[in-house]
Amino acid sequence: MKSDIPVTSLQRLPVYLNYLKSLPSEGYISSGAIAHALDMGEVLVRKDLAFTAAQGRTRVGYLRKELIAALEDYLGCNDKKRAVIFGAGELGQALMSYGGFSNYGIEVIAAFDSDSAKIGTYVGGKPVYGIENVEEELGRLDAKLAVMCVPARFAQDVVDVTVKCGIKKILNFAPVLLRVPSGTIVRNMDVAANLAILSSMT
């Protein structure tokens, strides 16, 4: 079912979820009210929400707490998912300490780095392992998600190892294009490129 949702719709689901959570959870809300608040088209909102199990009622709309639950269910907020971070530099450490992942059922369990001064330390209560032990540790940790925070020039090599270890979902902060086999998905979070895109938007 999930394979049918366009990525653009999927990307909007957390936006709806954040908006609904900012309201009291009692009562009903219509797709029109959501569309108006978020400055989007109502048809689009209704189509997006139809990918979830939420059932709207004629004239009143969605029971707010049911819609929140349906969005959380669709986004897997209730399934525990383990993630590891590659690169315990400043960005990696910021993510190790970040508390917001649990809203989506994501648990960051460890980081890997090549710097012997960092290996063996803990950040935000999570261990930093040596990159040379990655195959052994990843087998034990059972992580399904990887977040790349390594410098651009190392990113492809690290990704090749994670792919070999069976990780199929990679969030990439390195400002470089990663080559992965089909079946592996990379989502790019290049901050500088996003700021440039924003700057070019009119």
Q: Which is it for strands 28-29 and 62-63: parallel, antiparallel or unpaired?
A: antiparallel
The rounded distance, in Å, linking the Cα atoms of 165 and 91 is: 23
Establish if 3 lies at the interface with a copy of itself (CB under 8 A): yes
Report the distance separating Cα 78 and Cα 178, nearest Å.
Answer: 30
Q: Shortest approach of a copy of itself to residue 58 CB, angstroms?
A: 27
Question: Applying CB under 8 A, which of residues 90, 117, 125, 142 lies at the interface with a copy of itself?
Answer: 90
Structure tokens belonging to residue 123: 């950040």
d(CA 185, CA 147): 12
Q: Please, which of residues 166-185 interact with a copy of itself by CB under 8 A?
A: 169-171, 175-177, 182, 185
Sequence-ordered list of residues with C-beta below 8 angstroms from that of 201, at least 6 positions apart, any chain: none
Residues 6+ apart with CB under 8 A from 163: 180, 181, 184
CA atoms within 13 A of residue 189's CA, in its CB half-sphere? 10
Query: Quick one: which of 19, 27, 60, 78 contacts a copy of itself (CB under 8 A)?
Result: 19
Please identify, among the stretches 24-32, 93-101, 110-118, 130-138, the one whose residues bind a copy of itself according to the rule CB under 8 A: 93-101
HSE toward the beta carbon, residue 44, CA cutoff 13 A = 15
| Contact region with a copy of itself (CB under 8 A), list: 53-61, 111-119, 135-143, 187-195 | 187-195
Q: Report the residue number, 59 or 117, with the smaller CB distance to a copy of itself.
A: 117
> What is the three-class DSSP state of 124?
coil
Q: Which stretch binds a copy of itself (CB under 8 A): 27-35, 60-68, 91-99, 112-120?
A: 91-99
Question: Scanning residues 47 to 76, which ones bind a copy of itself (CB under 8 A)?
Answer: 74-76
Distance CA 49, CA 201 (A): 27
Report the site for a copy of itself in 124-153 (rule: CB under 8 A). Answer: 144-145, 147, 152
Q: Which residues bind a copy of itself (CB under 8 A)?
A: 2-3, 7-8, 10-11, 13-15, 18-19, 22, 38-39, 74-77, 81, 83, 89-91, 93-95, 97-98, 100-101, 103-106, 144-145, 147, 152, 169-171, 175-177, 182, 185, 187-202
